[in-house]
Every structure is written in C-alpha cells, then in structure tokens.
Amino acid sequence: MIEALKSDEVVAKAGGRFKLAVLVQKRLVDVTFGAPLLVERGNRTLVEAVIQEVLEGKITLELPERKRVAAPKAAPAEKAAEQDSD
C-alpha cells in the first residue's frame, strides 16, 4: 500500500477523495503521454510519484465553473390556469 494514502493529508490537499482520484488519474494520463514528473521518481511507482506531487502542492485540480441555468418561466397558459385555480 502507498504510505501517503494512510493519512488524510493528501486527501485534504486535493479537496476530497473523489477529487484526489480524478487528479491522480488525469495526471497519470499526462505523464504517460510525455509530461515530465515534477518530483524525483527514484524507485517509486508513477502513482506514488504523482501522490508526492499532490503532497508537495505541485499539482492541483481546477474544475471548470458551473453555469447556473435559470428556471424556465411558466408559459402564459400555465399562468392563467394557476390564477384560475386560486
């Protein structure tokens, strides 16, 4: 087991377990396709190196902003029906 995952420090730095999972997966894809590691790998696995990057604050997960969708306005016929029932 990866020692860094035994404490909640790495989870807190990533913003939660699900965000940590997404961050590690996305970073592994990047590294697999040629992005350089930001820490010395040594004899660690890629997953361990990526988790070390998270612990050192060298990578974070930035999610796109959500756009709020306004509630649809009631059609004129629906408004009239609502007023008639009052």
Helices 46-55 and 17-32: crossing angle in degrees, nearest 10, is 120
Per-residue confidence in pLDDT tens, the chain, 86 aa: 788 888 899 999 999 999 999 999 999 999 999 999 999 999 999 999 999 999 999 999 887 887 777 767 766 666 566 666 65
- Predicted pLDDT at 67: 77
**For the chain, how many structural domains are there in total?**
1
Q: In the chain, what is the greatest distance between 2 CA atoms, to the nearest angstrom?
A: 75
Contact 37, 49 (CB under 8 A): yes
Q: Which domain holds residue 32?
A: 3-63
What residue has token string 């361990």? 48
